[in-house]
Amino acid sequence: MTTFIIRRLLSAAVTFFLITLISFVVIQLPPGDVVSNWVRQQEASTGQPLPPETIENLRRTYGFDEPVIVQYFKWIDGFPRGDFGFSIEYSNAPVADILAQRTGLTVFLGVATLFISWGLAIPFGIFAATRKNSKWDYFLSTLSFIGISTPDFLVAVIYLFIAVFVLKTDYSGGLFSQEFKDAPWTWARVVDFAKHLPVPLAILGLGGMAGTFRIMRANLLDILDQQFIEAARAKGLRERVVIYKHATRIAINPLISRVGMQLPLLISGTIIISIVLDLPTLGPPFIRALNRQDMFLAGTVLMILAIILLIGNLIADIVLAWSDPRIQYE
């Protein structure tokens, strides 16, 4: 087990290196470099040229006079100090300051969504599988098919529509009320946060639910066909025991290995829904940065998202290896 974890960590380290490389390529992709873009914007907004020392200073800090490969190493060299470059869009603020809290909220939202969608999808999956080909089964299966076909941003827009016209709520986006937006964490802020949370969670959960539901249903149906279930019934066990103690336990296991596939969708969903609902996650600064070619910020967000994914997959792999002794890890 330990060797397995070490090997997994080593391969994750290699992937991490490749992620930083690709993120850096993304930063370099738009024509012109970050500093000259910034200088152009500054000069356009103030109407007067910047002092050459400032420009020179910035160029030196991020190594823009040097070959691309040196620039890359200068960029990753700043990581341990928490220096990811600067942002044009957010008036020169260091990227790390803009993203710190938003990263936390992104992860929180993702994890909460995962638990909610599983918490609902698994019981529904069991419900549908044990009533195969019934009206409820057809209803839920059709609904889930529509669910996996509906893109997250459409769910968000449709939800807003329902919220306004059917539920007549006053939710208008965000995770905090105006007065708590930049406040430090206090009890009142937590309460405010909790009040805003259900809508985004419901929208995000819905998308993930459909896929999990379908897999849970299919798994359970496969297992209910097997002989040990027949044997358990023949022994005279109650149906409830057969389903929950014998079948469901095994049917849930493949779902853990699916977390790895679910995570990227979850992150993509979180980003786009955050943009629609203006949630304080990594989504809004990402789209803002992309629209303005504020590439240090955009590249760093992309990198953080990939790293969240990397860590998520790592955890999922380890949990799977630990939960299923049949998995070989040499």
Partner 1 sequence: MNRLTGGFGLFGARKKNVELGVQDEYQLLTVRQLMIRKFLRNRMALLSFIALVIIYLVTLFAGFFAPYTARDADSKLTYSPPMTIRLQDPETGHFHPPFFYPLRGKRNMETFQLEYVEEREKRIPVQFFVKGEPYKALGIIAWDVHLFGSSDPAERLHIMGSDVRGRDLFSRIIYGGQVSLSVGIFGVLITIAVGSVIGTLSGYYGGVFDNVVQRVIETIRSFPQLPLWMALAAAIPPQWPPEWVYAGIVVVLAFINWTGLSREVRGLVLSLKERDYVHAAEASGASTARIVRKHLIPNMASHIIVTATLAVPVTILGESALSFLGIGVRPPMVSWGLLLNDAIKIQNIVLYPWTLFPGAFILVAVIAYNFLGDGLRDMVDPFSR
Nearer to partner 1, 150 or 177 (CB): 150
Under rule CB under 8 A, residue 146 binds partner 1: yes
Q: What part of residues 284-323 is at the interface with partner 1 (CB under 8 A)?
A: 286-287, 290-291, 293, 298-299, 301-302, 305-306, 309-310
Exposed, middle or buried, 28 (CB in 10 Å: 0-12/13-18/19+)? middle
Query: Cβ 240 to partner 1, closest distance in Å?
Result: 30
Cβ neighbors of 204 (< 8 A, separation 6 or more) are: 109, 113, 117, 152, 266, 269, 270, 273
How many residues sit close enough to partner 1 to count as binding (CB under 8 A)? 46
From candidates 68, 164, 190, 315, binder to partner 1 by CB under 8 A: 164
Candidates 17-25, 37-45, 200-208, 220-228: pick the segment binding partner 1 (CB under 8 A).
17-25
The phi, psi pair for 108, rounded to 5°, reads -60, -45
Q: What part of residues 172-201 is at the interface with partner 1 (CB under 8 A)?
A: 172-173
Nearer to partner 1, 250 or 311 (CB): 311
Under rule CB under 8 A, residue 150 binds partner 1: yes
Candidates 178-186, 215-223, 224-232, 283-291: pick the segment binding partner 1 (CB under 8 A).
283-291
Q: How far is residue 213's CA from residue 205's CA, in Å, rounded to a whole number?
A: 12
Under rule CB under 8 A, residue 158 binds partner 1: yes
Q: With b meaning 16 or more CB within 10 Å and e meaning fewer, what string describes 112-146?
A: ebbebbbebbbebbbbbbbeeeeeebeebbeebee
The phi, psi pair for 222, rounded to 5°, reads -60, -45
Under rule CB under 8 A, residue 57 binds partner 1: no
Nearer to partner 1, 122 or 276 (CB): 276
Exposed, middle or buried, 308 (CB in 10 Å: 0-12/13-18/19+)? buried
Query: Cβ 241 to partner 1, closest distance in Å?
Result: 30
Query: Cβ 188 to partner 1, closest distance in Å?
Result: 25
Under rule CB under 8 A, residue 18 binds partner 1: yes
Candidates 1-9, 112-120, 204-212, 266-274: pick the segment binding partner 1 (CB under 8 A).
266-274
Q: By the criterion CB under 8 A, which residues form the site for partner 1?
A: 15, 18-19, 22, 26, 29-31, 145-146, 148-151, 153-154, 157-158, 160-161, 164-165, 172-173, 263-265, 267-268, 271-272, 275-276, 286-287, 290-291, 293, 298-299, 301-302, 305-306, 309-310
